[in-house]
Structure 1
């Protein structure tokens, strides 16, 4: 269950009650002392004063709030003294309450407050797709169960068109009641309740219209809202008391759907919700459509599962129109008090005219997705308690926080997932991730557990067919190692499939696509051949390939066992058989090792080397700037010594020859210099990027300011640049 911080309740209750509380004109809820109501009917002297007050203010009618519940449970005496009093709408509220409170026969009297349906009317043309069922993974959940007639869901709403073909044989009319008209006909005169009922329990697989979440559950309509979608708090309380009474006598009400509410806390409503909860019934309520964080009631109560609404993209639902309570554009309410989210935009459902309509929006439509799911879970697991249903629904959602960064932690635990909730299982692979490369021995981690857990299997699939079973285990894993797998015998794109099984062989499945790579790249130098003599520009041929090729690099180093290598270049296109690169050797002489390294995306690498004898060729001692670039430049520049450890001097040489860099301050003083041999970084053909660490020739840190540097060869300046130092 969720925890509701008391301080938040006090703050938000004040804001909401001062701004939004809406009373029903002329209507009050009074609780008499025992025997008072009977005495009033008999006009006994002890209640003469109360009778005079009624005459003074023109009492029109009175009705016992919990009459229906008391017929079933006459022993529930705590309910028998609460009545609704109806006066002319123009009556002065404060005067009535003042005089009633002075009478010793009255325990409490409060204005009757409105509750309203959390929706607005359909606004889109009919279409033949119920996106919400796919979004919550209902089709896979139906593989487990499509419900049972043993389960009853009470719908406290505007009523239900019980003659609709989608509800044939599914409506409990024996226990239904119309609290608005105080009769046994709960026919819907607004449409809201019928749309809600369709989401919960429209018959599925019947070649007609739509499918609800639970195809077989019974629906119990209790009409508490009028044709305008409004009703009194006492009618809501009376309906909840009836549910509690029915449950206490063996009527299997599993869940109550309340797609309604108000922004005003009501102690009696909280008590009625607690009573229903104590009877073992799951209460589900809409969070509201005011686009605010304020709590709504009854959704806010800890005994009620609060539902926010999401759209097709799993984002907090936003609609058109203005909410009558908050004055804001219609959008789902949110807050840390919300327990879960469910689809609530453009919902296609049944309508009160016996047809179907699309475009139903609101947390009113999100709420029945949850109530319907509760019915399905109960059908699959008859011994589950209402508290276990609550926990199962909230613990098996899909996390949508990343899609709603502004509302992290305020849309409940996530958007409901019928498949996972019905499984009673948890299956996930946390490593490797989809698309990850696997090589050698891999530790596979994840989750495989649940209250109905029996065993799990982890399999390797190739093009949908099982290639091998990695593990079959009867030990549950809440979060940790599922298996240690030696992948050496495999290569290519594969699928890791985890299945977690229940006693009925029902399973929950999770799969990730991986790239297995246990084959090193191909690295071959075909020319120049080992021992050959070369000079000038040398064309290097060979092969650099791999199934998951990333890049290759060509380097050279002096001698047969070089202590260091210089880079010729890095290249990002595979070469099956052809030119790998060209290498300018002018300025080099003697034996050199040419090295090719090929890398793949899995991190594997392979190398090939060849020895060459380089004949002396005089190099062209020039800097060749790239198109549109200066002859030399430094990066980073400015060089902030507090943020960077080095800066690099970039320039492109046409050959290999000794070079040097001189760095001067504004006064022409030499601050730093360094010389580079032919063929090493700073004096090699191609791009060079020797670095400076910011220290002067004397080892001290350079002061901040503007510096000039020169690239020099044979006492000739080939390129000049500027460098700003920040210290």
Structure 2
């Protein structure tokens, strides 16, 4: 049986719980203006909601071009910050107060550059809070998790990559199912995936806390291999689209059967779409939160089904809005 089908019931339920409406769980997303066209020659329009104002993402013609640019920065108005491992792509900091649109216009036709993109913010979608545990248990009933356990309680042949804030690597209810060391794409040169907020630990527990062991809670899959990938963090529990794409590429390279992203935000670029498509074509089931209380979720489903141009794709929640992604909204104890 296709592993994507075999475990979809667990992951659908997971995202229902991972995006559970636990009070004011939605974090504000920065807005810097309306949708704008960069210049008359550029065929792509980018939404500015959620756009990060001080960085751009540069895609190079080749890996060689990317390596040279990393050593010798010849591009005006920007400074190299970070290179992707699996693509000839790098993130650059904007200098001198220019806007992303001005920087893209300046750089996009320069030699060695294939394209320049804006960068977007991604925010975590579950704020763990112990007093809501009973509501989460009731939500498990709504999602019919106990009925799923009657069929199967998990399998250690399945690898789930959890792209989040990391994990508590010493947690006794998680340790038997963790693949350590995990991967850190957020902090250069660090192999630590230690969770600095509890968000990734909570998501990991919902997926794969060992069940029927008399400790803590029971995850949706009692037996499963979980690869923690730290991409988000900090006081805002967020990351940028650049690190999200790097994390998806890592998960694909590590042959994850399932990629879980309890993160998301407004706006997308073709590099994110390519990363998701390549992971899907490699056999990954990709699931992502559509945002706690996200009012655009019905529009997102309609857009995916019809491609209706009247739906503004730049107002949708990504990566959940991409066709290859199983996007899941929120549920509370009332369904």
Deviations 1:393-414 (A, max 9, x none): xxxxxxxxxxxxxxxxxxxxxx
- What is the match of residue 107 of structure 1? 114
Query: How much has 1:24 moved relative to structure 2?
Result: 2.3
What do the CA deviations read for 1:95-154 (whole angstroms, capped 9, x no partner)?
Answer: 432331242221111222111112345383665982233333333432332212221111
In 2: Cα distance, 1:280 partner to 1:125 partner = 35
Report the counterpart of residue 147 of structure 1 in structure 2.
154
1:122 aligns with 2:129: yes
Secondary structure of the 1:151 match is: strand
* Residue equivalent to 2:82: 63
Secondary structure class of the residue paired with 2:292? coil
Query: What is the TM-score of this pair, normalised by structure 1?
Result: 0.35
1:38 is the counterpart of 2:67: yes
State the Cα distance separating 1:84 from its structure 2 match: 1.2
Distance 2:326 2:102 in 1: 39
Structure 2 vs 1, CA of residues 208 and 289 (structure 1 numbering), >3 Å: closer, same or farther? same
The total of aligned residue pairs comes to: 274
Give the conservation status (yes or no) of the 8 Å contact 1:25–1:90. Answer: no
Q: Which 5+ residue runs of structure 2 have no aligned equivalent? A: 6-33, 37-44, 301-316
Conserved 8 A contact 2:120-2:268: no
Residue 136 of structure 2 contacts residue 333 of structure 2 at CA under 8 Å; is this kept in 1?
Answer: no
Aligned-pair distance for 1:264? 1.3
Instruction: Note the alpha carbon deviations across 1:490-530, whole angstroms, 9 max, x for none.
Output: xxxxxxxxxxxxxxxxxxxxxxxxxxxxxxxxxxxxxxxxx
Shift of 1:237: 0.8
- Give the conservation status (yes or no) of the 8 Å contact 1:172–1:220: yes
Partner of 2:18: none
Residue 184 of structure 2 is matched in structure 1 by 178
Matches within 5 A, 1:564-575: none
Q: Given the superposition, is the C-alpha separation of residues 287 and 95 from structure 1 closer, same or farther in structure 2, using an over 3 Å criterion?
A: closer
More strand per residue: 1
Q: Give the secondary structure class of the aligned counterpart of 2:82.
A: strand
Question: Judging changes above 3 Å, is the alpha-carbon distance between structure 1 residues 262 and 279 closer, same or farther for their aligned structure 2 residues?
Answer: same
Q: How many Å separate the matches in 2 of 1:42 and 1:18?
A: 30
1:302 to 323, 326, 329: 323
Give me the TM-score of the superposition, normalised by structure 2. 0.73
Task: Please say if 1:261 is aligned against 2:264.
Answer: yes
The whole-number CA distance in structure 2 between the counterparts of 1:115 and 1:153 is 20
Q: What SS does the corresponding residue of 2:287 show, helix, strand or coil?
A: strand
Cα 1:119–1:170 shift into 2, 3 Å: closer
Shift of 1:33: 2.2
Aligned equivalent of 2:141, options 131, 134, 158: 134
Distance 1:235 1:41, change over 3 A: closer
Question: Which of the numbers 5, 17, 21 marks the counterpart of 2:49?
Answer: 21
Bigger RCO of structures 1 and 2 (CA < 8 A, at least 6 apart)? 2
8 Å Cα contact 1:158-1:188 kept in structure 2: yes
Picking from 156, 171, 175, the partner of 1:168 is: 175
- The alignment status of 1:200 with 2:228, answered yes or no, reads no
- Cα distance in 2, alignment partners of residues 266 and 18 from structure 1: 8
What's the offset of the Cα at 1:184?
1.6
- Quote the Cα distance in structure 1 between the aligned partners of 2:322 and 2:71: 40
- C-alpha spacing 1:41/1:211, structure 2 compared with 1 (3 Å): closer
Q: Which has the larger radius of gyration?
A: 1
CA distance in 1, matches of 2:154, 2:167: 20
Higher helix share: 2
The aligned counterpart of 1:280 is 283
Q: Map of 1:376-387 to 2, 5 A cutoff?
A: none
1:539-586 Cα distance to aligned partner (Å, 9 max, x none): xxxxxxxxxxxxxxxxxxxxxxxxxxxxxxxxxxxxxxxxxxxxxxxx
**SS at the partner of 1:274?**
helix
Maintained 8 Å contact 2:83/2:90: yes
Quick one: distance in 2 between partners of 1:119 and 1:38?
37
3-state SS of the aligned residue for 1:150?
A: strand
The C-alpha deviation readout for 1:379-435, integer Å capped at 9, x for no partner, is: xxxxxxxxxxxxxxxxxxxxxxxxxxxxxxxxxxxxxxxxxxxxxxxxxxxxxxxxx
Residues in 1 aligned to 2:194 and 2:222: alpha-carbon distance in whole angstroms? 21
Answer whether contact 2:263 2:289 (CA < 8 A) is retained.
yes
Which whole-Å CA distance do the structure 1 matches of 2:66 and 2:49 have between them?
29
- 1:359-370 to structure 2, matched below 5 A, reads none
CA contact (8 A) 2:51 2:267 kept: no
- Quote how far apart the aligned CAs of 1:189 are: 1.0
C-alpha displacement at 1:204, in angstroms? 0.9
Whether the 8 Å CA contact 1:112–1:233 is kept in 2: the answer is: yes
Structure 1 residue runs without a partner (length 5+):
2-12, 44-49, 71-78, 248-252, 315-727
Judging changes above 3 Å, is the alpha-carbon distance between structure 1 residues 89 and 186 closer, same or farther for their aligned structure 2 residues? farther
Conserved in 2, the CA contact under 8 Å of 1:160 and 1:194?
A: yes
List aligned pairs for 1:460-609, cutoff 5 A. Answer: none
1:653-697: CA deviations, max 9, x gaps?
xxxxxxxxxxxxxxxxxxxxxxxxxxxxxxxxxxxxxxxxxxxxx
